[in-house]
Amino acid sequence: MAFESLSDRLQKTFKNITGKGKLTEKNMNDMLREVRMSLLEADVNYGVVKDFIARVKEKAMGTEVMTSLNPGQMVVKIVHDEIVDLLGTQDAPLNYKAMGLTTIMMVGLQGTGKTTASAKIANVIKKKQSRNPLLVACDVIRPAAIEQLKTLGETIGVEVFSLGVETKALETAQKAMAYAQEKGYDTVIFDTAGRLHIDEELMQELQDIKAYVHPDDILLTVDAMTGQDIVNVANSFHEQLDVTGLVLTKLDGDSRGGGILSVRAITNVPVKFVGLGEKIEDLDVFHPDRMADRILG
C-alpha cells in the first residue's frame, strides 16, 4: 500500500521528538531534516518538499508553545496540518447541476484506470447518492475499451451508450447527450480515449468533446505508480482542459506515494476519488484528513 515506508519513518521521527520534554533548536532541526528526507525518499517533488519544510519551520518558530501540548507534540501537529494542506483541506464533491443534466468527462492516459474509474464512479453515485447515471463509450480507439465498459455497466446495472468504433467520439458524445435527455438520466459520464503519451490529436478530440458537452466535472485519472511523472502529465492535461478533479488510481499498489502528495500541491486541482483495487467497489471518495491520518498513523 502506498505510503507505508513514509508512514513508518515519520512515525519513528515523531516518537523520537515527542519523547523529549524540552525542544531545543537542534532537536527541531534534526527532526525537520528527518521529515525532509522521508518525503524525498517517498518521491515527493523537491520543490514541494522545500516549501513544506519552510512552512513548518516558520509556523514552529512563530507559534507560542501551546499549554496542552508539549513542544514535540506541537511540531508534530504542525507537520500534520501541513500534510492535510498538501492533500487539500476540504473534501471536493462532484459539481452536480442543481437542475438538468450533469456531465462528467473522464480523461487520462491509457492504462491509468479511466474506464474502470468511470464505472466505479457510476456505481458510487447510483448507490450512495441516488443518481441515475448513463455511461458513454467515447474511447473509440480501443474496441476493447467499449466492451470493457459494457461489461462493467452490466455488472453495476448502469446503461452504456455506444455507437461502436465506426462513429467519431464527438458524434457519440453528441448523440449520447440527446439520448440522456430523452431517457431522463440525470448524470452522464463520458469515458474518453487515452493514449500512451499526450499528443495533439488526443487533446483536440478531448477539447471538441468538452466544447460540446460543457462538463460540470473533468476528472483526470492519474496512476499512483507513475511516480514523479504524474505531475508533468497532470500539468499538461490541466493546461489544455482545465481539469476540475483528480482520481488517483492504484493506491493499493506498492508505490512510495510521493507523486500523490506532489500532484495536488502543484496543480492545485482537488483529489475527488481514490482507486484502491481492481474491483468495482474499490473506489473511495477522497477525504484529505483521513489520508493524512493514514500517513501519520
Residues making contact with ligand GDP (CB under 6 A): 108, 110-116, 145, 148, 194, 221, 249-250, 252-253, 275-278, 282
Q: Given the complex with ligand GDP, which of 221 and 244 has the nearer CB atom?
A: 221
Cα(2)–Cα(113) distance, integer angstroms: 17
Does the annotation place 112 within a ligand binding site? yes
Burial code (b: 16+ CB inside 10 Å, e: under 16) for 104-122 equals: bbbbbbbebbbbbbbbbbb
Does the annotation place 97 within a ligand binding site? no
Cα(110)–Cα(89) distance, integer angstroms: 30
Q: Given the complex with ligand GDP, which of 126 and 142 has the nearer CB atom?
A: 142
Least distance (Å) between residue 277 CB and ligand GDP:
5
Least distance (Å) between residue 295 CB and ligand GDP:
18
Least distance (Å) between residue 194 CB and ligand GDP:
5
Q: Given the complex with ligand GDP, which of 74 and 206 has the nearer CB atom?
A: 206
C-alpha cell at 252: 493499493
Q: Given the complex with ligand GDP, which of 134 and 276 has the nearer CB atom?
A: 276
Burial code (b: 16+ CB inside 10 Å, e: under 16) for 130-168 equals: ebebbbbbbbbbbeebbebbbebbeebebbbbbbebeee
Does the annotation place 113 within a ligand binding site? yes
Nearest-CB residue for ligand GDP = 275
Least distance (Å) between residue 233 CB and ligand GDP:
12
Report the binding-site residues for GTP: 108-115, 191-195, 249-252
Report the binding-site residues: 108-115, 191-195, 249-252
